[in-house]
Amino acid sequence: MATSRRRAPPIRIRRATVKDLDVLVHQRRQMWRDISGSSTEDLDPADAAYRRWARQRMQSGRLVAFVAETKAREVVAGGAVWVREIQPRPGAALRRQPYLLSMYTEPAFRGKGLATKIVKTAIAWAKARGFPSMTLHASDLGRGVYEKLGFRMTTEMRLRFARR
């Protein structure tokens, strides 16, 4: 009789822990480098600041990260949900809203649906906790991924009065 042992999928999505901070900082840095071509001078201090910021929020439960990991336990993609405070407004019972950030897939693993799986995992995480929506800011490469999953443009405006 044939056995029905199921094969493990080649790449799995799992929740990250603070032990993954090195790779989460790496993903964040590469994301910004790809999006804005930031210089090493700008990226280096941002790494340290993000590590501190992310560690505190992961420990308090306000930041939840997900990573895609190969069978060899190499992390090849990731993304995170930051549960941020929002202002009171009519019809909004909750004062917090999940915000998706730090989406990054290593170049050799792009176009395989990993970012899509991570966004779906993040959405499922947020829905399971009763949040009615999720927001993000999309890069040119990310926009299609988010739109396919139902994200739509909103009315946010920005006035730049300094370079940064």
Ligand X SMILES: CC(C)(COP(=O)(O)OP(=O)(O)OC[C@H]1O[C@@H](n2cnc3c(N)ncnc32)[C@H](O)[C@@H]1OP(=O)(O)O)[C@@H](O)C(=O)NCCC(=O)NCCS
How many residues can be counted in the chain? 164
Q: Which two tokens stand for residue 126?
A: 């947020």
Verify binding: residue 141, ligand X, rule CB under 6 A.
yes
Q: CA-CA distance, 32 to 35, in Å (whole number)?
A: 5
145 lies in the site for ligand X, by CB under 6 A: yes
Which helix (H) or strand (E) covers residue 105, if one does?
A: strand 96-105
> Measured between alpha carbons, how far is 99 from 13 in angstroms, rounded to an integer?
19
- Closest CB to ligand X: residue number: 111
Residue 115 lies near ligand X (rule: CB under 6 A): yes
First to last CA, the chain: 66
Report if residue 144 touches ligand X, rule: CB under 6 A.
yes
Q: Is 43 in the site for ligand X (CB under 6 A)?
A: no
Residue with Cβ nearer ligand X (10 or 90): 10
Rounded to 5 degrees, what angle do the CA atoms 105, 57, 61 make? Answer: 95
Which span (6-14, 82-90, 105-113, 121-129) binds ligand X, by CB under 6 A? 105-113
Q: Which stretch binds ligand X (CB under 6 A): 8-16, 27-35, 40-48, 156-164?
A: 27-35
Q: Please give the residue ranges that form the binding site for ligand X (CB under 6 A).
A: 31, 34-35, 77, 103-105, 110-116, 138-139, 141-142, 144-145, 148
